[in-house]
Amino acid sequence: MLVLLFGEDIRTVGSLSLLVSLRIMLIAFARCSRAGTFAVLGTNLRFTAIMAAGSIAGALLGGLFLGIFPDIVLIPGLAVILFVSAARLARHH
């Protein structure tokens, strides 16, 4: 919306979006911690660690790939990954 209305750069808009959602995430984390819903993470510590490591590795690799591969290669590649993931999730249930 900001791109269309104000002509802002897509990276600036993405950063603004993260700043807005950060407040919402912090409030949600505070409420969940007070409610004790994070206790399940302690019981599944191995799974939690694997998911965190995968998230960090994906962010790092994605950032590195931005400088190596052009957008014309990255965007379809990411679309394929999302499609495969959605298909596997649909078959799982």
Q: What is the pLDDT of residue 4?
A: 57
Catalogue the E-assigned strands of the chain: none
Q: How many CB atoms lie within 10 A of CB 5?
A: 7
Q: What is the pLDDT of residue 75?
A: 81
Q: What's the pTM? A: 0.50
Q: What is the pLDDT of residue 5?
A: 59
Q: What is the pLDDT of residue 63?
A: 82
Q: What is the pLDDT of residue 3?
A: 58
Residue length of the chain: 93
Residues of the chain with pLDDT under 50: none
Query: Amino acid identity, residue 10?
Result: I
Q: What is the pLDDT of residues 50-62, one digit of tens each?
A: 999 999 998 898 8
Q: What is the pLDDT of residue 50?
A: 94
Query: Distance of CA 40 to CAs 4, 35, 48, 51, 55, Å?
Result: 42, 12, 10, 14, 19
Q: What is the pLDDT of residue 89?
A: 87
- What the block records as the tokens of 73 is 């290669």
Q: Which residues of 16-53 are buried (b: 16+ CB within 10 A; e: fewer)?
A: eeeeeeeeeeeeeeeeeeeeeeeeeeeeeeeeeeeeee
